[in-house]
Structure 1
Amino acid sequence: MQSDAQQLSVLSLNCWGLKFVSKQRQFRLRAIGDAVSQQEYDIVTLQELWVSQDYEYIKSRVADNLPYSKYFYSGALGSGLAIFSRYPIISSSYLRYSLAGRPLKIFHGDFYVGKGCGSACIEHPTIGILEVFTTHLHAGYGKIDEYEGHRVSESWELANLLRTSAAQGRQVIATGDFNSIPTSYNYALLKDHAFMTDSWLETHESSLEESMRQFQQNQIHGRDCIHHFGITCDSPENSWSKHFLKQQARDKNIGDRLDYIFYRRTPELSCISSNVAFTDFIANTHMCYSDHFAVHSIFSCQSNASAMGNNIAPQCSQLTRPTFSRISPIIVRDIINLLHRDHVATRRKANILLGWLVTCVFLILALYAVMIVVPIYYASDDRREMIATILAVFGGFLMILCAAAAPICLIVGFVCGHTEQRALQQFVVELRTFLSGLPNNDGLAAQRNVNPHSSRDLITVDSPQFNLRHPSTEESEPLLMNV
């Protein structure tokens, strides 16, 4: 048995702790704090911990095992991110993403929480400085994902942040709700550009094909799928899922894997095991702890270890070169095209709002003129007072509406709209600059002695619901749009 300092137990959970919105919030958050306090975790990262009283309660409950903690403040409502640690936190920081929601999408809320990534540098007795990141990327909302560009830009910023930390010689762990399936560009950026390892996939890749075969033959179903395929969200076994008890146990829609614990695999830090946690009901209830399940990974920590295997992350000195990357140029071009489409859509929405601004100003002037001219025109008419009253009531009401709408259209259409457009342009410029200096991927693949599109990165499955593989880089190359 390894000593405590030679193993690192990490838990990541989206708590679903929105005030006034999340059902049974206070009861569930207290149950989460109680459950965490009864386990021997070394690091716990939580997302959607929006209410400070919930954070204070969990902090007090886990203080014996996790005496160090950081709560990250951002936006009008807070980031909802927190990190708890057994070992001393010697510094912390927060990066607010450049693109994270739109102000008129009030019920989405992402714009008002200042989405970003919190990090804490932890002094570990065996491996030295360990920087732990936690984030909650933008959600999709609905069947049409209008925020894919935002999520890609967030992943690009996060990937570069992880590279910078690794280049400083730190051990790196990145956790959170990434709202991204393993076929997404976001996942590719984190794995192939930030050189992070998916701890759950690393420990389950050898059994995935067999699990898939059993699933297709209806030999596994229901709760078994959670652990066989790492399902963390929208599981029919989750009491808060929209699918709960609405399908047969062998329905192919089993949920998605959206929550991850990534890490920089080094001779000093390697993953021993990883599993989906917090899948049971809260004691004496029929409700789950959250609408997400947790991810729990255990790592081996070795001091002064020698290099091992072919899957070790690149050396720190290699990461100082910005174009040192495994990501495919085709994926980079796809991302540029995606951001270009978002730029066009954003400009169109901004122009519509500016058009409404002009309309509101015109209506205000027109109504003002009518309210002056009409009473004068009917000065000798017996209905003058009635007409003046009607104009004052209805005309005044319309003027108030237009006067209220005009500044909103100005701020959201011009200020926020142009800010989003320029942010998208900046990301396109960065990616095109990166693409122009991107070396041939084959050389980097050879350094880890595997094919750049090996089964480790491309786990082929027939059922699209699983989304267990990387985005294919063998598709035809798309036209690179000019921005």
Structure 2
Amino acid sequence: MTSPAYETPETLRIVTLNCWGLKYIAKYRNERLTEIGNQLARSDPAPDIVGLQECWTQQDYLVIRERTRHILPYGKFYYSGIFGGGLAILSRWPIEESSMYRYPLNGRPSAFFRGDWFVGKGVASARIRYGSGRKDVAEVFCTHLHAPYEREPHDSYLCHRTAQAWEMAKLLRHASERGHLVISLGDFNMVPLSLAHRIIETHSPVRDVWRLLQPDSSLGAASHPAERRRGKKVPTAEENLEVNGATCDSCLNTWRWDKALRKRLNKGEDIVVGLDTEDPKAKRLDYIFVSCGERMAEWTVESANVGMTGRHSTLKCSLSDHFSVETTLRRRHHHLLSAATTTPAASPPSLTATHTPRLPVSVYDEILLLIAAYNVREVRQRKLRLGHFIAQVTLAIGCLVGIWWVPRNYGAFLLALWSTLGLSAGVIDGLMGGLFVGSELRALWEFEWEVRAAREAAVGLEAEAVVVGKFEE
């Protein structure tokens, strides 16, 4: 089917937001997500492309769609995993194609209380034609990487998040090679210039729009080691919004307040936090990346801001436990584009800067050590789980034999119950050890091979640079 022709827009307004729409868990979920839809509908300038995360139920998605239909008539709710990935993309223009790519390394089923594996985290992608030109196409990738449950480098899921960033970078690189505008957005659960952040910006031709405009912005919360090394003072709430782009753990977000303040808020007290309040915990976890290169010479980043910082009009709570990230891209006209190719533009920042094709060899060594450590952990887990299965089978047989010699019925009942419950737990553990861990190890080996190949290429580049340097001397 042929898509209708559209006049190529002068600007593209892009928004990403983690909605915190956990069913049965997130408080005031229906009211908050309805208000999110209302605020998107009233936005000025109106968004052209919106990526949502943690929009877990189709009901909430449809509510937002209904509120925004007049400005975002097209949308896609993405299905993944057992409970759904919580991802959605809304658009001013038709979505020609879409897909849902699940990450090969994606949490563990044994951590059922965390849920990352059960929701099937991955990348929701949409191909959107925004103009009449043959290549007036945006490929949008919306994601929510695995959550960190401990501080790096002691986070046991760091390997998962690193592998997910690697997979995302491949998708972005392939889309860019098709000559399309590439937009990646979502809750990446990483801080700027972390390992995952560097992988995305190096192994794909995209740039973090916030750091293009604010290159001196923070590298994490004030207590983060990388931020402490910079020797900066603790930022205020206003500085975190305007300069650092903090979207999470802000003192302005009511869901991050302590219990005492939350109780006062629940009683109807309208508590105001000043913008000059010190904000030591706020950090940036949400991002918009946009492609650079020859195709992106047509676009520049005009602005970027943190949005959705207001509260619900009646409940007085924040709309989500995250704030949104919003950016505007402006199209260059042909006479300006010709000048830009010969004279670097001073303002606004262009997305045409040459990017480093490889990370330093030491970084690949760091990733390989991470993979090796996680591989050891998984091999040990596999042995323990399969050992537990064998032990439970043996115990179950023993209990069944013991029933013959128990003189009273209640004793036989207890042995039968013990046998059944123990065997059930052993079978589940055996399935996880034999099937899930085996699948995860194979995904880990694939990841390792790709990293080693990238490392070899980086070694070749470094050797070539040394030869060129000696020749120039």
TM-score category (smaller protein): 0.7 to 0.9
TM-score by length of 2: 0.82
Question: Are 1:327 and 1:441, in contact at CA under 8 Å, matched by a contact in 2?
Answer: no
Aligned match of 1:58: 64
Match for 1:179: what amino acid? Answer: N
Counterparts of 1:70-469 in structure 2, within 5 Å, are 70-125=76-131, 128-143=136-151, 144-205=154-215, 216=232, 221-241=236-256, 253-265=280-292, 266-302=296-332, 305-306=337-338, 308=341, 309=344, 312-313=351-352, 325-372=357-404, 374-375=405-406, 387-438=407-458, 439-440=460-461
Q: Deviations over 1:346-368 (max 9, x none)?
A: 11112111111111011011111
Matched position secondary structure for 1:9: strand
1:142 deviates by 4.0
1:184 deviates by 1.6
Aligned sequence identity (%): 33
1:302 deviates by 3.3
Matched, 1:21 2:25: yes
Question: Are 2:187 and 2:285, in contact at CA under 8 Å, matched by a contact in 1?
Answer: yes
Return the alpha-carbon distance in structure 1 between the equivalents of residues 435 and 218 of structure 2.
Answer: 48
Return the alpha-carbon distance in structure 2 between the equivalents of residues 443 and 208 of structure 1.
Answer: 34
Return the alpha-carbon distance in structure 1 between the equivalents of residues 177 and 397 of structure 2.
Answer: 60
Match for 2:302: what amino acid? Answer: I
Question: Are 2:8 and 2:136, in contact at CA under 8 Å, matched by a contact in 1?
Answer: no
- Kindly tell me: are residues 216 and 162 of structure 1, through their superposed partners in 2, closer, same or farther at Cα, counting changes over 3 Å? closer
1:286 deviates by 2.1
Q: Deviations over 1:407-427 (max 9, x none)?
A: 201111110011111211111
Matched position secondary structure for 1:437: helix
Return the alpha-carbon distance in structure 2 between the equivalents of residues 146 and 250 of structure 1.
Answer: 34
Return the alpha-carbon distance in structure 1 between the equivalents of residues 279 and 35 of structure 2.
Answer: 31
Match for 1:239: what amino acid? Answer: T
Name the Cα RMSD after superposition: 2.9
Aligned match of 1:42: 48
Matched position secondary structure for 2:254: coil
1:285 deviates by 3.2
Aligned match of 2:471: none
Q: How many residues align?
A: 421
Return the alpha-carbon distance in structure 2 between the equivalents of residues 314 and 412 of structure 1.
Answer: 46
- Kindly tell me: are residues 404 and 313 of structure 1, through their superposed partners in 2, closer, same or farther at Cα, counting changes over 3 Å? farther
Question: Are 2:83 and 2:118, in contact at CA under 8 Å, matched by a contact in 1?
Answer: yes
Match for 2:389: what amino acid? Answer: L
Return the alpha-carbon distance in structure 2 between the equivalents of residues 290 and 240 of structure 1.
Answer: 8
Match for 2:148: what amino acid? Answer: G
Matched position secondary structure for 1:56: helix
Matched position secondary structure for 1:113: coil
Return the alpha-carbon distance in structure 2 between the equivalents of residues 208 and 102 of structure 1.
Answer: 32
- Kindly tell me: are residues 329 and 360 of structure 1, through their superposed partners in 2, closer, same or farther at Cα, counting changes over 3 Å? same
- Kindly tell me: are residues 206 and 365 of structure 1, through their superposed partners in 2, closer, same or farther at Cα, counting changes over 3 Å? closer
Contiguous gaps of at least 5 residues in structure 1: 376-386, 445-483
Q: Deviations over 1:226-260 (max 9, x none)?
A: 32211111122211126685999765623211100
Q: Which has the higher contact order (CA 8 A, sep 6+)?
A: 1
Match for 2:9: what amino acid? Answer: A
Return the alpha-carbon distance in structure 1 between the equivalents of residues 328 and 372 of structure 2.
Answer: 40
- Kindly tell me: are residues 217 and 436 of structure 1, through their superposed partners in 2, closer, same or farther at Cα, counting changes over 3 Å? closer
1:133 deviates by 0.8
Question: Are 1:97 and 1:116, in contact at CA under 8 Å, matched by a contact in 2?
Answer: yes
Return the alpha-carbon distance in structure 2 between the equivalents of residues 183 and 171 of structure 1.
Answer: 23
- Kindly tell me: are residues 428 and 275 of structure 1, through their superposed partners in 2, closer, same or farther at Cα, counting changes over 3 Å? same
Structure 1 segments, 4+ long, off by >3 Å, are: 206-209, 211-218, 242-252, 302-315, 441-444
TM-score by length of 1: 0.81
- Kindly tell me: are residues 33 and 411 of structure 1, through their superposed partners in 2, closer, same or farther at Cα, counting changes over 3 Å? same
1:195 deviates by 2.4
Matched position secondary structure for 2:256: coil
Return the alpha-carbon distance in structure 1 between the equivalents of residues 387 and 218 of structure 2.
Answer: 53
Match for 2:281: what amino acid? Answer: I
Q: Deviations over 1:262-310 (max 9, x none)?
A: 0013211221110111112122332101001100000012365445449
Return the alpha-carbon distance in structure 2 between the equivalents of residues 313 and 354 of structure 1.
Answer: 53
1:81 deviates by 0.7
